[in-house]
Amino acid sequence: MDPLFSEIFSKPDNEIFKVVFFPDRIYHAAYLNATVSERYRYNVTEVRNKSDITFIKAQVFQDGRFLANVFRIEYHAIRLGEVTRENNRFLQMGIKCTLNIELPGGSKVNAQVTLGYCSWVRAYQCEIWDTLEPIPGAVHHFKVLSQMGKNGAITHVPKLADAFKNIKDIKKIEITFRENETDEPFGYKINNPVWDNDYTRSYQVPNTNEPSSPQNTVEVKNYLIDFQRGWFMDSANVKPVRYSNAMMENHNPNFRPDGTNIVEMKWILQRELGGNLVYFHEVNVTPGSFEGVHQHIGSEELYYIVSGEGIAYMGHDDDPAFDDATQPIVKQEIYCIGEKPVRELPVKPGKIIYTKSGGIHGIKNTSPTTPLIFVAFGYHCS
């Protein structure tokens, strides 16, 4: 970490730095595998998080001299632990991680490593170094050397040699996790080891203009770790995916069998997002159309109204500031739940609808001629 960060951070007139740049103070002092010896230091160059995965690019130094480029993987295994339990097993001390790395030029290299459970970070982890040889004229400290090996916490994968040659230019890494093939401590073979491949994650692309077409859904069975560092985009260049009677069952009074209840979504960012963010999109509720009222469990969503006017619906007691006189209670059919009381909320540009897990929301365009457009963030909160 640049020492200027510490100087900036300590200035009393720059409190905002503590909020915006807080993580920059973490990685220079974080527990990484070779820090068990003071002879080794890391320079963390890039960090990406996806769900409960942390993927780090770094350099490791021995005795003040550059030693190796490093990929570090940390994985808390929440989803993998769940599907293992569903098969009446528990995760043990080791799991498998498969990497599919896109090299500059578009070719890909695939490799598998073992992640071992580390009580220091309370996660499964390993570091892949581009060499395990010490610097010339030196030997490894025994605490570091003892971690090295094919299935060790510090490992070397010859197949990834080309990736390490261009480590700064590696932008996309697809990653999956799998239960080990052998049960521990009993040693019997597991014939159906389970996977965490982003829980059958899919993403949306405008392959066809047909509303609600399955051709617009692309299934993937991996997490995408995206190391691109910035995007400058124009939503005008993003084609929408169209949906008919979105989040609405056919017994809903607002359901239109002729398919004219159309909501268009420009999926601006999806897999590129890190952390628990799932999407950032622009939504066009076409004139007279209705995005069905629905409930989020284990996820949150934020709407910001950009243009147009209409009526939003929220759970009748979701916001304690609701006023019976100005925000009347009505009944609406909730997607897959049934009829529930909700508040009617007039919306126009600048209005914000923020719905946490358990909350209910939906939105109707009341204009026969003007689109109602909002942008939305969706993300997992658990």
Answering whether pTM is above 0.75, one says yes
pLDDT of residue 6: 60
> What is the per-residue pLDDT across 349-363, written as a single tens digit (0 to 9) for each?
999 999 999 999 999
The residue assigned the tokens 């949306």 is 204
Is the confidence at residue 25, as pLDDT, over 70? no
Is the confidence at residue 145, as pLDDT, over 80? yes
pLDDT of residue 325: 87
Q: Which of 115-119, 146-150, 184-188 has the weakest average pLDDT? A: 184-188
Closest CA to 74 of 111, 120, 18: 120
The architecture that CATH gives domain 230-380 is Sandwich (2.60)
Q: Which of 25-34, 136-145, 226-235, 338-347 has the weakest average pLDDT? A: 25-34
> What is the per-residue pLDDT across 153-166, written as a single tens digit (0 to 9) for each?
999 999 999 999 98
Over the chain, what is the mean pLDDT?
92
User: What residue spans define the domains of the chain?
Assistant: 31-196, 230-380
> What is the per-residue pLDDT across 33-88, written as a single tens digit (0 to 9) for each?
999 999 999 988 999 999 999 999 999 999 999 999 999 999 999 999 999 999 98
> What does DSSP assign to residue 298?
S
Enter the tokens of residue 226: 């995206």
Enter the tokens of residue 73: 């993987």
Closest CA to 139 of 231, 39, 276: 39
Closest CA to 245 of 237, 234, 256, 253: 256
pLDDT of residue 92: 87
**Length of the chain, in residues:** 382
Confidence of residue 274 (pLDDT cuts 50, 70, 90): very high
Confidence of residue 4 (pLDDT cuts 50, 70, 90): low
Is the confidence at residue 1, as pLDDT, over 50? no
All residues at 6 or more sequence positions from 43 whose CB lies less than 8 Å from its CB, including other chains: 58, 59, 60, 61
The alpha carbons of the chain give a radius of gyration, in whole angstroms, of 25
The residue assigned the tokens 């581009």 is 130
pLDDT of residue 9: 55
Report residue 77: phi and psi, to 5°.
60, 35
* Spatial distance between the Cα atoms of 136 and 316, rounded to a whole number of angstroms: 70
DSSP letter string, 244-272: ESTT--TTSTT--TTS--EEEEEEEESTT
